[in-house]
């Protein structure tokens, strides 16, 4: 027992310095990221972090002794910077005194200490994180070297004061201004990184003691100096940044009482005076960068509130008697996320997009670490953030979901897919037949490319558009554009019923995401072309033109999926002809394609003269009366989609019944990924746990079912919706864990183990581009539900 107690004591002592010293970072989150550092979402940011750290290893440490000027004190150890927005007066021979040009930075400040301080703090932060995540001591050694040079060594160290920060030449005897105290804000995050270094071999107890003493002296100077006192009485973001530094430095040095005093006074001193009852921040709004400074101030608010939470104080909800609070300020800015600059009623002379992205990060931090009830903030974040995979924010704050990891994996695969497809379409066998889109993998292991008229031609571009929808990164928009337009000619192709698949999943996605008229024109022409295949007598769209000796007017269950483009065409044009065709087709399919148990025939053949049913059979299923898995999925998904547009309860009931039948089959594999057909003698004795590994599965059907269930679950009762979502979650999780291709393999396809046309001996146990498309769609729908 004694040995066990000693072990627990040592463990607590080992963790304590890191846990106690963290201020704005969350120790538990960092530990979780470290455990998952090889997962796709984190791996890219981690690699970028290490590359940045590696570039720093051979750099010369920076110090205050490197500046070109000497402060008025005559001591180069005194930090010196220049006021950012002050410029020489062009009407004066010597330019003195300098005059203000708000929002326009003077490059002269590069000659002094401010940039070097920021670079040093950032390098220390990067190196400490690289050490923490990798365990490689070389990063800790370099970080410690930089700390010693800037803060500790007698020959190079900065004096712990800001007497000459933000000097304005020609003013105040060239002494610094109170506003200069914001120059050291990068130390707040840096000290969180230093807290990690406490566990390294390189950063010694002596280093720690000396650095804490240095920050104690700086904090004392900030509290007692004339500049510090003036900054403390400020009315804008500077006073908030001042408080944040006092709290962070006090926490680092162990003075929790001092930190708590500032926190306790914060609502009355900063929140209520700076935020109006309607959420405006008047002192920030009068600036030429009004949005930037309003957002920037909120970043400081969030930092303080995160630090306060560490001490058990929840001040984010502090509200004055007339309704002033932090969330009012957030809510004032939030409606402008995703809007154009012209809609902002104040000045913002530059940096609009950058400030928007910074606010997105503020929204995420607030909803994730301060107030999880604010799902609306998360929705705004995901709707408008531009995901940069290399951003360290992803490591420090983002609690990556299964969807995040799956999309990060997909990003790498789709980049490979584009390279492989670009190469393949230039090969003579493909170029001669204008095969320009990747579809699957041939039996000989080569990449299967297809013509624009192939029913699968739109899915690859559609997957790229889904990447753009998830990331909002222009790289994916440009990529999607380049793979969308090569199939444009298909808008005239009257020989297929699959124009919905081909053109709505590509051009339709493009229009929904960009609003560009050129995409809409293609969609509308495609809808016009599609309805030429409609028969008023049969009240359905004809599927195939082949095998005319067997069928007269075949309609397949797959055709339900093409109706979405027709419903949207009516919404976009006001012309009801498309809607009527879609509704008639859905009604005819509902009447004739399903058995009493709601299993589906694949093909129903009609007499084109009378509209009567001639035959019910299969083409891709095991037998005429079997349960072809993808056919069941088309029906489930298709009728849920029809309900979305029409709100006809018959369609909802049909989708539910199909789902209930198929999901409750006694031989359905436990992972939710069905056999290619669920009614075959070879699997009749199978159970969820007892599977037949020799029978091919169909990951494409599973992805379709999951995506359809995510939509269906939003229409049914809460109890049933929860059941459907649970099944969909299980399917998606298993596809993610067990059906994804290994990274950088299989020509960039995402999912393995799909089945295309088993009776025809085609595409058995292979990747398929439509499996990838509906997998990405299912992931996105899952994430959207989770943040509601």
Show which residues are catalytic. 498, 558
Q: Residue 763: in which H helix or E strand, if any?
A: strand 762-766
Rounded to a whole number, what is the distance in angstroms from the first to the last CA of the chain? 49
17 by Cβ neighbours in 10 Å (0-12 / 13-18 / 19+) ranks as: middle
Residue 658, CA distances (Å) to 572, 600, 709 in order: 30, 8, 11
Three-class DSSP labels, 255-302: CHHHHHHHHHHHHHHHHHHHCCCCCCCHHHHCCCEHHHHHHHHHHHHH
Q: What are the strands, taking DSSP E only, across 398-499?
A: 437-441, 447-450
Beta carbons of 553 and 600 less than 8 angstroms apart = no
- Angstrom distance (rounded) from CA 505 to CA 562: 10
**Residue that is written with structure tokens 């001193």 in the block:** 269
Q: Is the peptide bond before 722 cis (omega within 30 degrees of 0)?
A: no
Which of 355, 357, 294, 360 lies closest to 328, judged by CA? 294
- Angstrom distance (rounded) from CA 656 to CA 594: 13
- Angstrom distance (rounded) from CA 352 to CA 334: 14
Provide the annotated binding site for substrate.
498, 558, 618, 630, 634
Distance of CA 230 to the CA centre of its chain: 41
- Angstrom distance (rounded) from CA 440 to CA 772: 11
Instruction: Copy the structure tokens of residue 397.
Output: 């704050």
How many residues make up the chain in this entry?
Answer: 788
Ramachandran assignment for 454, one of left (phi > 0), alpha (psi -120 to 50 degrees), beta (any other): beta
Beta carbons of 468 and 483 less than 8 angstroms apart = no
Beta carbons of 600 and 594 less than 8 angstroms apart = yes
- Angstrom distance (rounded) from CA 305 to CA 315: 6
Per DSSP, 561 falls in state G
Q: Sign of the CA dihedral 477, 404, 195, 229?
A: positive
Beta carbons of 361 and 393 less than 8 angstroms apart = yes
Half-sphere exposure of 526 (CA within 13 A, CB side): 34
CB atoms within 10 A of CB 335: 10
Residues 6+ apart with CB under 8 A from 772: 410, 459, 463, 749, 750, 751
Distance of CA 476 to the CA centre of its chain: 13
Residues 6+ apart with CB under 8 A from 354: 292
CB atoms within 10 A of CB 514: 16
- Angstrom distance (rounded) from CA 708 to CA 705: 5
- Angstrom distance (rounded) from CA 685 to CA 691: 9
- Angstrom distance (rounded) from CA 760 to CA 782: 34
At 661, phi and psi to the nearest 5?
Answer: -65, -55
At 730, phi and psi to the nearest 5?
Answer: -65, -45
Beta carbons of 234 and 293 less than 8 angstroms apart = no
Provide the annotated binding site.
498, 558, 618, 630, 634
- Angstrom distance (rounded) from CA 89 to CA 171: 12
* Three-class SS state of 24: coil
């Amino acid at each position: 027992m004694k040995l066990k107690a000693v072990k627990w004591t040592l463990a607590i002592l080992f963790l304590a310095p890191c846990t106690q010293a963290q201020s704005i970072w969350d120790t538990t989150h960092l530990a979780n990221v470290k455990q998952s550092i090889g997962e796709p979402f984190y791996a890219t940011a981690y690699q970028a972090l290490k590359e940045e750290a590696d570039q720093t290893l051979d750099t010369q440490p920076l110090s205050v002794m490197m500046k070109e000027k000497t402060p008025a004190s005559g001591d180069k150890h005194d930090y010196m910077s220049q006021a950012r927005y002050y410029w020489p007066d062009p009407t004066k021979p010597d330019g003195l005194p300098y005059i203000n040009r708000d929002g326009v930075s003077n490059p002269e400040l590069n000659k002094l200490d401010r940039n070097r301080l920021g670079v040093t703090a950032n390098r220390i932060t990067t190196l400490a994180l690289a050490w923490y995540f990798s365990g490689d001591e070389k990063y800790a050694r370099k970080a410690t070297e930089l700390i010693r040079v800037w803060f500790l060594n007698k020959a190079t160290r900065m004096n712990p004061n800001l007497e000459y920060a933000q000097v304005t030449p020609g003013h105040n005897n060239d002494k610094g201004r109170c506003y200069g105290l914001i120059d050291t804000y990068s130390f707040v995050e840096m000290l969180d990184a230093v807290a990690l270094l406490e566990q390294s071999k390189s950063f010694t107890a002596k280093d720690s003691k000396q650095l804490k003493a240095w920050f104690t002296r700086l904090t004392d100077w900030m509290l007692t100096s004339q500049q510090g006192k003036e900054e403390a009485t400020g009315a804008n973001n500077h006073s908030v940044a001042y408080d944040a530094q006092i709290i962070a430095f006090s926490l680092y040095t162990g003075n929790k009482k001092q930190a708590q005093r500032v926190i306790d006074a914060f609502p009355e001193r900063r929140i209520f005076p700076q935020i109006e009852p309607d959420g405006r921040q008047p002192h920030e709004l009068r600036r030429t960068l009004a949005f930037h400074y309003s957002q920037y101030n909120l970043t400081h608010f969030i930092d303080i509130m995160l630090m306060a939470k560490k001490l058990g104080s929840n001040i984010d909800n502090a509200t004055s008697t007339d309704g002033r609070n932090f969330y009012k300020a957030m809510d004032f800015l939030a409606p402008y996320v995703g809007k154009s600059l012209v809609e902002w009623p104040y000045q913002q002379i530059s940096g609009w997009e950058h400030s928007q992205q910074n606010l997105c990060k503020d929204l995420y931090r607030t909803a994730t670490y301060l107030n999880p009830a604010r799902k609306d903030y998360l929705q705004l974040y995901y709707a408008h953030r531009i995901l940069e995979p290399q951003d360290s924010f992803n490591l420090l704050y983002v609690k990556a979901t299964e969807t995040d990891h799956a999309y990060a994996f997909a990003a790498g695969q789709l980049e490979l897919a584009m390279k492989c497809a670009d190469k393949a379409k230039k090969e003579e066998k493909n170029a001669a037949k204008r095969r320009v889109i990747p579809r699957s993998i041939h039996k000989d292991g080569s990449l299967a490319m297809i013509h624009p008229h192939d029913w699968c031609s739109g899915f690859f571009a559609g997957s790229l558009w889904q990447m753009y929808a998830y990331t909002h990164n222009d790289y994916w928009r440009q990529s999607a554009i380049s793979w969308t337009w090569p199939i444009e000619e298909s808008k005239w192709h009257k020989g297929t019923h699959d124009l919905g698949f081909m053109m709505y999943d590509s051009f339709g996605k493009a229009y929904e995401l960009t609003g560009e008229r050129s995409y809409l024109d293609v969609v509308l022409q495609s809808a016009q072309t599609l309805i030429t295949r409609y028969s008023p007598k049969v009240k359905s769209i004809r599927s195939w033109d082949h095998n005319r000796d067997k069928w007269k007017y075949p309609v397949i269950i797959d055709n339900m999926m093409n109706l979405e483009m027709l419903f949207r065409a009516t919404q976009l044009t006001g012309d009801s002809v498309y809607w009527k065709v879609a509704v008639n087709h859905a009604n005819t399919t509902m009447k004739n394609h399903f058995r009493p148990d709601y299993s589906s025939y694949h093909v129903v053949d009609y007499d084109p003269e009378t509209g009567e049913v001639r035959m019910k059979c299969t083409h891709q299923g095991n037998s005429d009366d079997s349960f072809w898995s993808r056919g069941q999925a088309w029906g489930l998904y298709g009728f849920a989609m029809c309900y979305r547009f029409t709100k006809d309860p018959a369609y909802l009931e049909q989708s539910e019944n199909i789902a209930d039948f198929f999901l409750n089959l006694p031989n359905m594999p436990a992972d939710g990924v069905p056999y290619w057909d669920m009614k075959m003698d070879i699997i009749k004795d199978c159970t969820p746990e007892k599977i037949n590994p020799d029978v091919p599965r169909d990951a494409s059907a599973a992805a379709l079912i999951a995506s359809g269930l995510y939509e269906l679950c939003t229409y049914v009762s809460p109890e049933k919706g929860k059941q459907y979502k649970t099944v969909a979650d299980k399917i998606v999780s298993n596809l993610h864990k067990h059906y994804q291709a290994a990274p950088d393999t299989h020509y960039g396809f995402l999912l393995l183990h799909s089945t295309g046309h088993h009776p025809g001996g085609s595409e058995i146990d292979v990747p398929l581009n439509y499996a990838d498309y509906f997998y990405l769609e299912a992931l996105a729908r899952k994430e959207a539900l989770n943040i509601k």
